Structure 1
Amino acid sequence: MSNQRVPIEPQRVDAPLTQSATFLVVTATKKPDSINTIRSTLAGLDSLAKNVSIRDLSARFACTVGIGSDIWDDLTSLPRPAELHSFREVKGEKHIAVSTPGDLLFHIRSERRDICFEFERQLMNQLGDAVSVVDETVGFRYFDVRDLLGFVDGTANPVGPSVPASVLVAGEDTSAEGGSYIVVQKYTHDLSGWGHLSTEQQEKIIGRTKIDNVELDDAESGQRSHKTLNTIEYENGDEHDILRDNMPFGSPGSAEFGTYFIGYTRRLWVIEKMLERMFVGDPPGLHDRILDFSKPLTGTTFFAPSASFLANLDSE
């Protein structure tokens, strides 16, 4: 019953999976008041969220804000999170994880598309000409949380008590405590080429069965699956978990089909290691074969600070 009366807490990186999401990446303009406008907007974001979410609390609205490396110092005047830096391009023999601009990320989620739309409309009205849009992607939940390649997405996400330990910075960096690193990439898929593969070939690339999502062993050839390349382990064999809230997007009329990858993590290096293994290969040269059908168009890194951090941005 509490979900019907209490909005989701601001900056909740583990907000529930929803039917709709908007991923909005912007950069600050050179207008004289841009930084001040952005700062005051972020400080008042909780009020804006309540103004929209109160219209339907059952829609489970949430917005998480990430701040990029290039704007951090001017915007906050506070110590930088220890691992925060711009997205580093990863260049393999055949594929490249590109690095693209982005000062702010707004990860807007709701069960209702109109709630996401209304929040973004009011947000952009407040930001005005202080920002310019780099990318705006509208995602949707596809059947039983599958991507457009037909496989269940997000199976390896941490659950329950293990979520905070995987995604929230703790005592190792007290200035960033309670926040989370975010990496986003927008991939488009060659569904025609993918569709020409047999189900068995697709399953070997992903590392899971297509219908019932059961893990498969890698081939003896040394080629590792997408699942294996994205598994980073401690020395004792335990996994370094990250939280994914990926969403399909696209337009059949424009022949655009894609997945918006968004990963939240306590340790940025974990996602960077995943990308290195995907694009360079492990061993080098044996890249993730999903990249032969999925092309990254963007790559940006952010840090999502705590809600109290945002609320105090405009207190000076």
Structure 2
Amino acid sequence: MDQSAQRRVPIEPQRVDAPLTSSAVLLTLALTDVSAGSDSVATVRGVLADLEDITKNVAFRDLDAALACTIGIGSAVWDVVTGAPRPAELHPFREVVGAVHTAPSTPGDLLVHIRANRRDLCFELERQLLDRLHGAVTVVDETIGFRYFDARDLLGFVDGTANPVGDALPAATLVDASDEADPNAHGGSYLVVQKYVHSLAAWNRLSTEQQEAVIGRTKLDNIELADAGASEQKSHKTLSTITDDAGVEHDILRDNMPFGSPGHGEFGTYFIGYTARLWVIERMLERMFIGDPPGKHDRLLDASTALTGGVFFVPPASLLAGLGD
């Protein structure tokens, strides 16, 4: 699509702001052939162009179930899939290596985030999308998430408390047209995903008070605890709060979902971070894995291991729709 055509299409974001639901599917996909003009690329472009209609075909079964689907595109295939100018910050996930823990970078060309308040709707939309994409992609990872009690993670703490609301939500998640540093990303969102598995045995060896000090909030009623002193070990809450050089705090949207299988001893959290500024999440991960100051890593990582790491850009729905032209 040429740039003049893009300017004629109204900017309509994907459903980055869809509400937290009781069920979700996270699919990481890799194209089978990334060469320009390949059948794989043509098939992917066609499915992305039809994403809104495919989603509507499933959503009509229960309009109150809040079915939504957002798709992010990775750096390696952005050019060949979209033909659009690159967002300024789009690049592969940068591995973060600390003295004790590592945030790995893992493969993935597309990230499909399906969510609804009914598991069957998530299942059906995933089935239809993969049927349409058959032969064009391989599934790198499939994770089924669920809401756990009152939006808690499997460690027992409420997750996503600091999420922006109201007018602050689009400001935190969508690249604004006034952002001169990222003119090609207007109406889109950067997406970072990581799959963490927890050692509940290690976590449960800590007392409730010790767990609260690690997280930075009380476990029962989710009250924020005071920040640690300059020379003390910082909590997860403090390390994941990012301010710029001017002292302005930058929010992100966390759509984290628990996942797991007690029968297989698997307990985890799928981190899903939407942001208008990729550097915010990257600085957060550096503070967590390397520490602030370096050497004092996030103690949550002593019970939580990152298995995957991916960066994607969620372009406007209007850009996806234009891929079928």
| Distance (Å, rounded) in 1 between the aligned partners of 2:299 and 2:271 | 17
Matched, 1:156 2:166: no
- Secondary structure of 1:287's aligned partner: coil
- Secondary structure of 1:129's aligned partner: coil
Instruction: Verify the 8 A CA contact 1:204 1:219 in the aligned structure 2.
Output: no
Instruction: Verify the 8 A CA contact 1:97 1:299 in the aligned structure 2.
Output: yes
Instruction: Verify the 8 A CA contact 2:13 2:315 in the aligned structure 1.
Output: no
- Secondary structure of 2:84's aligned partner: coil
- Could you list the per-position Cα deviations for residues 289-314 of structure 1 after superposition, in whole angstroms to 9, with x for gaps in the alignment? 00000000000000000010000012
Pairing of 1:21-60 with structure 2 (within 5 A): 21-30=24-33, 32-60=38-66
Instruction: Verify the 8 A CA contact 1:246 1:261 in the aligned structure 2.
Output: yes
Instruction: Verify the 8 A CA contact 1:10 1:63 in the aligned structure 2.
Output: no
* 1:265 counterpart (267, 275, 282): 275
| Distance (Å, rounded) in 1 between the aligned partners of 2:292 and 2:197 | 23
1:211 positional shift = 0.5
- Could you list the per-position Cα deviations for residues 72-100 of structure 1 after superposition, in whole angstroms to 9, with x for gaps in the alignment? 01111111000000000000000000000
* Structure 1 spans left out of the alignment, 5+ residues: 1-8
Pairing of 1:1-316 with structure 2 (within 5 A): 11-30=14-33, 32-170=38-176, 171-172=178-179, 173-220=182-229, 221-315=231-325
Instruction: Verify the 8 A CA contact 1:10 1:46 in the aligned structure 2.
Output: no
- Could you list the per-position Cα deviations for residues 124-156 of structure 1 after superposition, in whole angstroms to 9, with x for gaps in the alignment? 000001000010000000000000000000011
Instruction: Verify the 8 A CA contact 2:13 2:188 in the aligned structure 1.
Output: no
| Distance (Å, rounded) in 2 between the aligned partners of 1:181 and 1:293 | 27
| Distance (Å, rounded) in 2 between the aligned partners of 1:296 and 1:236 | 31
* Structure 2 spans left out of the alignment, 5+ residues: 1-11
Instruction: Verify the 8 A CA contact 2:13 2:187 in the aligned structure 1.
Output: no
1:70 positional shift = 0.4
| Distance (Å, rounded) in 2 between the aligned partners of 1:73 and 1:30 | 14
- Could you list the per-position Cα deviations for residues 202-230 of structure 1 after superposition, in whole angstroms to 9, with x for gaps in the alignment? 00000000001111124445210000000
Instruction: Verify the 8 A CA contact 1:248 1:259 in the aligned structure 2.
Output: yes
| Distance (Å, rounded) in 2 between the aligned partners of 1:113 and 1:294 | 26
Instruction: Verify the 8 A CA contact 1:183 1:264 in the aligned structure 2.
Output: yes
What is the match of residue 8 of structure 2?
Answer: none
| Aligned residue pair count | 307
| Distance (Å, rounded) in 2 between the aligned partners of 1:284 and 1:115 | 45
Percent identical across equivalent pairs? 67
- Secondary structure of 2:47's aligned partner: helix
| Distance (Å, rounded) in 1 between the aligned partners of 2:161 and 2:227 | 18
| Distance (Å, rounded) in 2 between the aligned partners of 1:139 and 1:14 | 18
Cα root mean square deviation, aligned: 1.2
Alignment TM-score, normalising by the size of structure 2: 0.92
- Secondary structure of 1:48's aligned partner: helix
Displacement over 3 Å in runs of 4+: 218-221, 234-238
| Distance (Å, rounded) in 1 between the aligned partners of 2:60 and 2:269 | 30
Instruction: Verify the 8 A CA contact 1:203 1:209 in the aligned structure 2.
Output: yes
| Distance (Å, rounded) in 2 between the aligned partners of 1:95 and 1:222 | 20
- Could you list the per-position Cα deviations for residues 38-62 of structure 1 after superposition, in whole angstroms to 9, with x for gaps in the alignment? 0000000111001000010011000
Instruction: Verify the 8 A CA contact 2:257 2:270 in the aligned structure 1.
Output: yes
1:18 positional shift = 0.4
Instruction: Verify the 8 A CA contact 1:204 1:218 in the aligned structure 2.
Output: no
